[in-house]
Amino acid sequence: SGYWTKSQAPSADSKLYRNLGNGNFVDVTNQSGLKSTEYGQGVTVADYDNDGDPDLYLTNFGSNQLYQNRGDGTFIDITLQSGVSDPHWSTSAAFLDIDLDGFLDLFVVNYLQYSIDDPILNCGVEGNLSYCHPSLFAGAADQLYYNNGDGTFSNITKRARIDDGADLFNGKGLGVVAGDFNRDGWPDIYVANDDTANFLFYNRGGGVFNEVALMTGCAYSFDGIAQAGMGVDVADLNKDGWLDIFVTNLSYETNALYYNNGDGTFNDVIYQSRLANQSFLYVGFATGLYDFDNDNDIDIFIANGHVIHNIDQTSEILTASQPNQLFVNVGDGTFREVSKQAGKHFNLKKVSRGAAFGDYDNDGDIDVAVSNSGQRLELLRNETSANWIRIKTIGTVSNRDGIGCRVSLQAGKEITVQEVHRNAGYLSSHDPRLHFGLNQMTNVDRLEVQWLSGVIQIFENIPANQEFKIIEPKLPAQLLWASKHGNLSMAELVLENRKIDIDIVGRSGNTPLLMAVEGNHLEVIKLLINKGANPNQQNKYGNTALILACSQSAVEVVLFLLSYQVEVNHFNQERETALMYSAWRGNSNLVYKLLDAGAEVGPKNLEGETAISLAKSAGHHKIVKILDRIKNRKK
């Protein structure tokens, strides 16, 4: 929180520095066209228009700004025509593809409802003026802008259920990060809120989100208290394949480390991980989860600095200037602070705020740029020497940056998972290339890339110490996308290429046919089968097209599949058959058709249920009579 009056808020220019590639930078603000004189808060970078160059979104105290990169080193302000001029007090923002259509949408975090025209409140202790506590102000709703694919955005905040209309989700947000926390293939959103519960918006598909932080265990601290969330980042810290969440908080609070249990719940393990006491007296802002020492696990950087500039005058313990911190991952679920050994920067006290992470000199390690309040920005060059590999993703059907792409790397016995995201921490944006430390290993045994389009690519035996560029294969990605979304014309166009594998397995474990069945896209289903798709292909759960169609009571799809003599009595991993689903759903028409095709009544699933017992439990007595009659006839 803070106060500005018209006389106390002189305009300040944002700055753009070009990396010359020799370790030096040059100020190119004037010639770039970036003429922002707003009261700036943060910056978000992404290629929102998929033209191959990064665009800039600036969050401000006031109207935000979107600058389109022209590709020649200059930018143009397209805020008004794009529709993303959020008038609130915006802090952080994140680009993500909420509906997997290949265009990056924009989530903007807003803080407080405050105007410079409001009366100034006098806050402080013993005559020392201070910023007022955020509890004295109402929160502001975050905003979600949908990328229309034509250079414009639509505000879908209410339709997406980000704003419930009752101020329930006005959370005083400061940090945001996107990631697929439940691994359902849809990017979710986590927001760090100041003095209120944090938010976790699960993406349910169809442009709709559910806020589940309280239910899943990542809204409050380990002892159930709302903390002063500032910065946030995500990574798989314990190598179990699930994204964990790290949030920085205020002094006299612990930071929070929410381990993802993989079952839809989280636990704050800040004490168990030995990260609590070391930061108890500090105010954390930016944070970054990266492998800073290249030893093949994720470490933690924290930028610290108190929010009250004169706290030294009112406290014998707390200070305004504070050291930044670096914690290395021990590998057993705990972390060890190595700040004093990490370099001169970590032994100095400053009021740090934002931090950007990436390999600015391309030497194979993660460097850090730290912004300090009232002081110069600092660039920390990492001098780690262990082996590494850097992954650059280029989308062709998915978004150009590959944001949301999931990469699994195996080197020796270790498997490390990362997701591509550019926006995390506190008011900051980062290098989109994925960095994996390899320690002493000289080779990557296996690399699996899962694109948002559904395409999976696998690479083996990749030498270390290089940037490995991965381009999404266009035709398979287009076929999976067209099948999922029911785009018949695109599917027809792709299938004109006879070399494509029509039964390619996508990210969800489904083939194009199975994706089309899940979406009940009958015309695409007909096209795929007529072009040779295997109607009996199973997904990773053992479900066939017929089982999926029966589970949805998709009558026309089932009738079409039965005309192709599919395996009627196939059972999935739960030993459930198509007849069981139709009986439980209560669709007597499908039950008759399945029986005519030879479906058996007697099989039991893993719970010991039969088609008859499932129909009975669901109250479908007509179907029970039909199945009983068939069963008795066969005795």
pLDDT, one tens digit per residue, over 115-139 is 777 666 677 666 666 777 887 788 8
Residue 487 Cα distances to 208, 527, 544, angstroms: 21, 11, 21
> Which one, of 531, 578, 534, lies nearest residue 555 by Cα?
578
d(CA 193, CA 134): 11
Q: What angle separates helix 588-596 from helix 555-562, to the nearest 10 degrees? A: 0
Whole-prediction pTM value? 0.82
pLDDT, one tens digit per residue, over 319-346 is 888 999 999 999 999 999 999 999 999 9
pLDDT for res 202:
96
Strand intervals (E) in 204-358 = 209-211, 232-235, 244-247, 256-260, 266-268, 284-290, 299-304, 325-329, 335-337, 352-358
In this model, does residue 183 exceed pLDDT 90? yes
How many residues make up the chain in this entry?
A: 635
How many of the other CB atoms lie within 10 Å of CB of 427?
Answer: 28
> Which one, of 63, 67, 60, 56, lies nearest residue 40 by Cα?
60
Contact 579, 551 (CB under 8 A): no
Contact 333, 406 (CB under 8 A): no
Confidence of residue 416 (pLDDT cuts 50, 70, 90): very high
Confidence of residue 3 (pLDDT cuts 50, 70, 90): very low
How many of the other CB atoms lie within 10 Å of CB of 344?
Answer: 7
Give every CB contact of residue 454 below 8 A, 6+ residues apart in sequence: 185, 477, 480, 481, 484, 506, 507, 508, 510, 515
pLDDT for res 127:
65
pLDDT for res 8:
54
**Beta-bridge partners for 287:** 302
Domain boundaries, the chain: 17-394, 475-633
d(CA 560, CA 340): 69
Contact 532, 524 (CB under 8 A): no
In this model, does residue 7 exceed pLDDT 80? no
CATH class of the structural domain 17-394: mainly beta
Pairing of strands 199-203, 188-193: antiparallel
The sign of the CA dihedral 587, 592, 593, 597 is positive
pLDDT, one tens digit per residue, over 546-601 is 999 999 999 999 999 999 889 999 999 999 999 999 999 998 999 999 999 999 99
175: Cα within 13 Å, side-chain hemisphere: 31
What residue type is assigned to position 159 of the chain? Answer: R
User: Across residues 145-173, what is the average pLDDT?
Assistant: 87
Contact 282, 325 (CB under 8 A): yes
Contact 193, 199 (CB under 8 A): yes
Instruction: Specify the CATH number for 475-633; select among 1.10.150.120, 1.10.8.350, 3.40.220.10, 1.25.40.20.
Output: 1.25.40.20
Edge-to-edge strands of the sheet including 335-337? Answer: 284-290, 299-304, 325-329, 335-337
Helix (H, G, I), strand (E, B) or coil at 3: coil
Give every CB contact of residue 467 below 8 A, 6+ residues apart in sequence: 362, 389, 390, 391, 392, 433
d(CA 119, CA 107): 30
pLDDT, one tens digit per residue, over 462-510 is 999 999 999 998 888 889 988 988 999 889 988 886 678 899 888 778 8
d(CA 186, CA 448): 18
Contact 57, 84 (CB under 8 A): yes
d(CA 261, CA 431): 28
Helix (H, G, I), strand (E, B) or coil at 624: helix
Helix (H, G, I), strand (E, B) or coil at 435: strand
